[in-house]
Each structure stands twice: as C-alpha cells, then as structure tokens.
C-alpha cells in the first residue's frame, strides 16, 4: 500500500459536510443544501428522449475510443457557432466526466517532479491529482480586491522555467468569476502548457462566454455536460486538444477507460439540440438566483467584495466570524441545518471563507439564506 501518497491526499471537505448532513437527514432533520455544486433542475426532456432512443436502437456497446463521431462533430460545430473557434472533430475526445478529461490531460503533460501552477482559490481536486501523478504543486494567489482576476504582472514574475503546466479554471469554482479577455490573451504568450478547465462555460450572466482557445490554439480545454446541462450523473466530459496530442491521449483513453459511456454520449447529442429559448430562460433563472444570494448575504452583513459573473457560486469572506471555515460550516449545519462549503477546500489562503451554491431552486435558496440569517443573528452576536 502506498501509505506516503495516501496520507498526503487531503479530504474533499465539502463531501464531509454533505455526509454529515446525510447523517442528520437519516435522523429526520430537514437539511437545506447550498454546499454542493449540482444543478437541481430537471434534465431536459430531449436528453432523456435521445438516451431512450439510443437504448432502443441498440447503441449500448463500446464506441470509438475518441467518442461517438456525431457528438464530436456537434461539439466542434458548437465551438464555431458560439465562440468563433474552429476545431476539428478529431480534436474532441469524449471522456467519462470532466474529471477523466483532467486526468488524461495531466498524464499527457507532466512527468514526475514537474512543477504545475494552480490559481488559488482552486478546485480542490487539482493539487491532489497533481500529487498522484508525481508533480509538484505551486500556488498563485488571486485576491477578492482584484475581483479574483489574475494579476498578469505578478504572475509573470511568479513563473519559473521549472513550471511546465498552468491549470486555469474559468469560469471559476468557487468564485463564479471568468477571467477577462486581457488575462486570457496574456496567458497565451507565456510559453507554458495551459489546461483550461471550462466546465462552467456558458453559465455566464454579465459577459459573453469565453474560451482560452480564442487566444491559444495549443491549450488543452476540459469541458463537459454536467453543469450546463444538469447531467451530473451521466458522467460525460470531453477534451479539446492540439492535433499533435490526439493519438497519444487516445491510447491513454483506450488503456484507462476504453471509451466514455455510450448511452450518455447519445444523450449529449440531444443536449446539444436544446432550444435556445430554453437556454436563455435557464440563464435568466440562474442570474435571478445569484442576485438573490448576493443581496440577502449583504443584508445580513456578509458583504461580497467582488462581482460573480458566472457559474453558480458566491464566495463569502467570513473572517469576522471565524478563523476556520470547516468548523464554521459544521457549526452552521449543526445549529440551523444548512449545508455550506468551507473555503478551506479551495486553498489555505481562504480558510476563513465559505462558498454558497445557488444551483438549487429559488425557493430552496430563500430557505437556506433565511437559515443563514438565523445563524448570524442567533449564534454570532
């Protein structure tokens, strides 16, 4: 057993909050969940219909290891029509969730001892996966006062020749911030391999959706269907890779996963046919929920010092209430039956923050924020 590796891997703290919440629910307590970034809206009927049709037609065997061709063609078409980026369907590699896409990208780019830069606050799995594959983690911090935009001057000074990969998450989990065009353009001139995790792409409320590929055609993009299309349980993601990397990643896919779930791939073909009016209504609903969350937190004295423009998260500074967001999150759960995500998950610099997810229904968010108000008034004053 690899005790050294296993002992170095940190828990996913939000999952521990969820698991404690589930213990309470088994005992009859009504828990309001604002901790998990999982859309609660129903999967579109066209997705379910396409999946059923694929089963009836017998499309339930292994697909090509790169993925179902029709799906890859539709993804390439989406990039051209929505983002004005021309890619070949061959550059699209369909994966078992975006996590598998990230794993394949990391294995392809780093070898033992290579340094990988991640931008704090970061998705909790990034440093753990880098360690698993033998890389060394370097953390570049962004700040609330800068709207969590990357300070390009500081980043240029921070980077060294030993840094082989930069992982970007835009739109961001946990901040809900998209890096602006100037930052994306700057990154393309750094001469470093970029993995851009764009799983929340399209969930943009104030600005047009962006991709690193508009600035750097050598970057690797991680994307998928879990967040935008509410297909978390379907486990389907994809990579967009430079042409010179296709064959190598295909061989990794063949040996590690064989192929992505075939029925889910056909369901995703349906997802890419969803009517634009349905998408506009979804985005309008998310924006309404975001505005509710920010206004309600502000009214209870929790000021959000930046503007979340995308995804479905608000990252709140709770330093006047705690030095340890995990303890605070557990206490909130225990006292008022509300689940929130501890900022400790997203980097040590943010151990006094908590993340609120507004991926739930408007009514559920209202209930959760009322519980948060109850906690602030009843247990912090």
Question: What CATH number did the domain enclosing 100 receive?
Answer: 3.40.640.10
If pLDDT is split at 50, 70 and 90, which confidence band does 226 have? Answer: very high
Mean pLDDT of 127-149: 97
Q: How far apart are CA 375 and CA 237, in angstroms?
A: 38
Query: Is the same domain home to 178 and 247?
Result: yes
Domain boundary among 249, 271, 293: 271
Query: Is the same domain home to 65 and 200?
Result: yes
Query: Is the same domain home to 297 and 243?
Result: no
- Domain assignment of residue 135, given as a range: 46-271
Report whether pLDDT(158) > 80. Answer: yes
Report whether pLDDT(357) > 90. Answer: yes
Query: Is the same domain home to 60 and 202?
Result: yes
Phi, psi of 302 (to 5 degrees): -105, 90
pLDDT at residue 225 in the model: 98
pLDDT at residue 353 in the model: 98
- Cis-peptide, bond into residue 334, ω within 30° of zero: no
**Helices 262-271 and 69-83 meet at what angle, rounded to 10?**
30
pLDDT at residue 99 in the model: 97
- Beta pairing partners, 376: none
Query: Is the same domain home to 122 and 254?
Result: yes
Measured CA to CA in angstroms, residue 231 lies from 102, 103, 120, 178 at distances of 18, 20, 27, 22
Mean pLDDT of 217-229: 97
Report whether pLDDT(340) > 80. Answer: yes
If pLDDT is split at 50, 70 and 90, which confidence band does 350 have? Answer: very high
If we measure between CA atoms, which residue out of 177, 183, 168, 179 comes closest to residue 126?
168
Cβ burial, residue 351 (10 Å; 0-12/13-18/19+): buried
Report whether pLDDT(4) > 90. Answer: no
Domain boundary among 271, 296, 325: 271
Query: Is the same domain home to 316 and 358?
Result: yes
Domain boundary among 226, 242, 271: 271
Q: How far apart are CA 167 and CA 190, in angstroms?
A: 13
pLDDT at residue 205 in the model: 96
Measured CA to CA in angstroms, residue 119 lies from 150, 173, 183, 346 at distances of 8, 11, 13, 10
Report whether pLDDT(88) > 90. Answer: yes
Report whether pLDDT(381) > 80. Answer: no
> At which residue do the structure tokens 């792409």 appear?
201
Query: Is the same domain home to 353 and 226?
Result: no
Report whether pLDDT(2) > 90. Answer: no
If pLDDT is split at 50, 70 and 90, which confidence band does 182 have? Answer: very high
Cβ burial, residue 153 (10 Å; 0-12/13-18/19+): exposed
Mean pLDDT of 320-344: 97
Phi, psi of 295 (to 5 degrees): -65, -45
pLDDT at residue 303 in the model: 87
Average pLDDT score over the chain: 97
Domain CATH for 291: 3.90.1150.10
Q: How far apart are CA 163 and CA 267, in angstroms?
A: 39
Query: Is the same domain home to 196 and 323?
Result: no
If pLDDT is split at 50, 70 and 90, which confidence band does 305 have? Answer: very high
Top pLDDT among 1 and 212 is at 212
User: What is the share, in percent, of the chain residues with pLDDT greater than 90?
Assistant: 96
Mean pLDDT of 269-284: 96
Report whether pLDDT(251) > 80. Answer: yes
Query: Is the same domain home to 319 and 365?
Result: yes
Query: Is the same domain home to 240 and 289?
Result: no
Helix (H) or strand (E) holding 339: strand 338-339
Give every strand in the sheet of 341-342, ordered side by side.
313-317, 353-357, 341-342
Lowest mean pLDDT among 3-7, 131-135, 339-343: 3-7
Cβ pair 77, 83 in contact under 8 A: no
Mean pLDDT of 94-109: 98
Query: Is the same domain home to 226 and 288?
Result: no
DSSP state at residue 51: H
Query: Is the same domain home to 221 and 292?
Result: no
Give the chain's domain count. Answer: 2
């Amino acid at each position: 057993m690899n005790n050294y590796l296993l002992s170095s891997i940190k828990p996913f703290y939000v999952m521990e909050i969820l698991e404690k919440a589930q213990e309470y629910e088994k005992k009859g307590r009504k828990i309001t969940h604002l901790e998990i970034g999982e859309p609660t809206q129903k999967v579109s009927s066209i997705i379910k219909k396409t999946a059923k049709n694929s089963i009836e037609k017998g499309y339930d065997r292994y697909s090509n290891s790169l993925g179902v061709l029709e799906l890859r063609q539709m993804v390439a078409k989406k990039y051209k029509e929505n983002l004005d980026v021309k890619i070949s369907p061959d550059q699209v590699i369909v994966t078992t969730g975006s996590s598998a896409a990230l794993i394949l990208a990391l294995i392809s780019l780093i070898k033992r001892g290579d340094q990988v830069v991640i931008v704090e606050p970061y998705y909790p799995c990034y440093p753990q996966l880098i360690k698993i594959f033998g890389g060394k983690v370097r953390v570049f911090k962004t700040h609330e006062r800068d709207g969590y935009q990357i300070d390009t001057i500081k980043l240029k000074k921070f980077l060294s020749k030993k840094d082989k990969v930069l992982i970007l998450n835009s739109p961001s989990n946990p901040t809900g911030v998209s890096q602006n065009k100037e930052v994306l353009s700057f990154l393309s001139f750094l001469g470093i391999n970029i993995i851009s995790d764009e799983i929340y792409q399209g969930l943009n409320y104030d600005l047009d959706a962006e991709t690193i590929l508009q600035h750097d055609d050598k970057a690797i993009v991680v994307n998928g269907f879990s967040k935008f299309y509410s297909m978390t349980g379907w486990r389907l993601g994809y990579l967009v890779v430079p042409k010179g990397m296709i064959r190598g990643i295909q061989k990794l896919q063949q040996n590690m996963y064989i192929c992505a779930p075939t029925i889910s791939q056909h369901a995703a073909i349906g997802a890419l046919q969803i009517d634009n009016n349905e998408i506009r209504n979804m985005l309008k609903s998310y924006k309404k929920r975001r505005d509710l969350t920010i206004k309600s937190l502000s009214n209870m004295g929790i000021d959000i010092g930046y503007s979340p423009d995308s995804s479905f998260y608000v990252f709140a500074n709770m330093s006047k209430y705690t030095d340890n967001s995990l303890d605070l999150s557990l206490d909130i759960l225990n006292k008022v039956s509300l689940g929130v995500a501890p900022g400790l998950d997203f980097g040590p610099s943010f151990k006094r923050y908590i993340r609120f997810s507004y991926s739930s229904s408007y009514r559920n968010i209202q209930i959760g924020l009322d519980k948060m108000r109850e906690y602030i008034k009843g247990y912090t004053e």
